[in-house]
Every structure is written in C-alpha cells, then in structure tokens.
Copies of this chain bind each other. A is one copy, B any other.
C-alpha cells in the first residue's frame, strides 16, 4: 500500500497540525495570511521583513480593474450564479502567459542570467545588464518586464517595491539586475522604457527565495483576492449584463470563412 507524505495539514481525533505546528494554538490568531501563504509555499516561516515585501507584491498584483480575468469572473457569475467557485476558477484561468505572465517570465529571466559570481557594485551590475540587453536585442527577443503599455513614463509600483525591499534588507541579485537593466537599456535600445511593476514583482519574489516554478502562482493568489472584490462589487453594482449585451447586441452576422485546405 503506498504511503503519501506531507508536511502540510494533518489531523487526528484531537489535534490539527499545519507545517508541524498546532493549527489552533500556534497559527490561528498569530500568523497573518500573507505570512501563512509564504510559509505554506516554502515550508519555512518568513521573517517580518520578508512578509512585508511579499505582501507588497501581493498588493501590487491584486486588482487592475477591468482586466480580462475580472470581466470573465463577472460574466461567469452572471451566467452561473449557482457556483462562486466556478466564477473564481474561470477568472484565474486567464492568469496565463500574457496578462499575468510577466511576473513569472521576469523572475525566471533574471534568475537565468545571474552569473555564479555576482557583481559587487553598480558598475558590475551595469556591465552584466548591458550584456544581457545586447544579447536579447541581437536575438530579436524582448527583455521580460521592460516596458508597459500604459505607464510609459514609469510604473509607480516599481520604485515603491525597490524602496520596500531596500528598507527590509531584501534587495538581492534579481532586483539588482533588474534595476541595472533599467539604467543601461537606453544605450542599447535607443529609447527609455519603464520597468514594469509586474516584472519587478517577479524580481522581488525571486529575491525572497520563492520557487521560480510558482511565481505565477503567487500572482494568482493575489488575483484571487481581487476577483472576490470584483464579485462583491458585481453583486451590489452589476455590470456583467451590460458587458454581455454590449457584445451580443453589436454582433454582426457574416458569411462563413472556410478554413483553407489547399496545399498543406
């Protein structure tokens, strides 16, 4: 008979433990929710400073208004009000490569470009960043996290997260490389692009030592809180039906356009 090991939740007739601690006595009332999420993901309890940076990231990613994920949650609730879990799950399914992906892409990209021996000063980081940006440019690839379609003069989340990480002594190599990319890329690209706030979140999460494979997961956790906010607002000030009708009433029926089969 196989045996399934876990360090997460466990319960007996009289006790419940979580991560080896008594859930009722040691966790409830003592551990904040951001702190707990960090602890569950890493199986180590974060410091106060780590929790603060982590929660700053979650705040930065929680809600951006009428994103596709928010619209999807509202429309799914309109269509299936019997299932709150379905409305939230549908919204999270939009958390993929395009709208929420930059956090993970940026964290992974920076991690992949850190050398074994890290630079020791800004000049060193700038040299590394210059090399990274040039290589991407030559390969005609974007640098993940560089640029923003709205905040063209700067994403206000970026300097704030740099500041919070600095205050907590958690300004590590990923943030250092990202900052250097911000400084040197005009030399290569011939124009100044902002450092994306979702991208800096990826850098900060990586500096916190969180698993790179799950950086998108933390963006989804933040977004779950945002989608509950969207649902709560939809319950009291609904817009879902107006959105639906704005599409349905403006549909225009056109002739089928057969998918081409000629050649291969």
Known: A99-B79, A242-B4. A65 touches B9 (CB 8 A): yes
As for how many copies of this chain the complex holds, the number is 4
Q: Considering the complex, give the chain B residue whose CB is closest to the CB of A222.
A: B33
CB distance from A209 to the nearest CB of B (A): 4
User: Do residues A80 and B60 form an inter-chain contact, with CB atoms below 8 A?
Assistant: no
Which stretch from A37-45, A119-127, A184-192 is at the chain B interface? A37-45
Contacting residue for A4 out of B8, B32, B252, CB 8 A: B252
User: Do residues A253 and B220 form an inter-chain contact, with CB atoms below 8 A?
Assistant: no
User: Do residues A27 and B59 form an inter-chain contact, with CB atoms below 8 A?
Assistant: yes
Interface string of A84-113 (1 = CB under 8 A from B): 111111101111111111000000000100
Known: A95-B80, A220-B84, A229-B40. A66 touches B257 (CB 8 A): no
Which residues of A39-68 are within 8 A (CB) of B?
40-44, 52, 54-56, 58-60, 62-68
Interface string of A219-235 (1 = CB under 8 A from B): 01110111011111101
Known: A15-B156, A153-B14, A251-B65. A59 touches B43 (CB 8 A): no
CB distance from A103 to the nearest CB of B (A): 12
CB distance from A185 to the nearest CB of B (A): 20
Whether, in the assembled complex, A72 has its beta carbon less than 8 Å from a beta carbon of chain B, the answer is yes
The list of the 9 closest CB pairs from A to B, nearest first, reads A80-B96, A40-B229, A33-B34, A79-B94, A44-B258, A209-B261, A43-B256, A24-B160, A37-B225
Q: Please report A residues at the B interface, Cβ cutoff 8 Å.
A: 1-20, 22-25, 27-29, 31-34, 36-37, 40-44, 52, 54-56, 58-60, 62-72, 75-76, 78-90, 92-101, 111, 114, 118, 150-157, 159-161, 163-164, 167, 172-174, 197, 209-211, 213-214, 216-218, 220-222, 224-226, 228-233, 235-237, 239-240, 242-244, 246-248, 250-261, 264
Can you sample 20 A-B contacts with CB below 8 Å? Answer: A2-B243, A5-B251, A6-B233, A7-B254, A10-B251, A12-B150, A16-B157, A25-B156, A28-B160, A33-B222, A36-B55, A40-B229, A41-B229, A76-B90, A79-B100, A80-B95, A80-B98, A92-B92, A118-B264, A236-B257
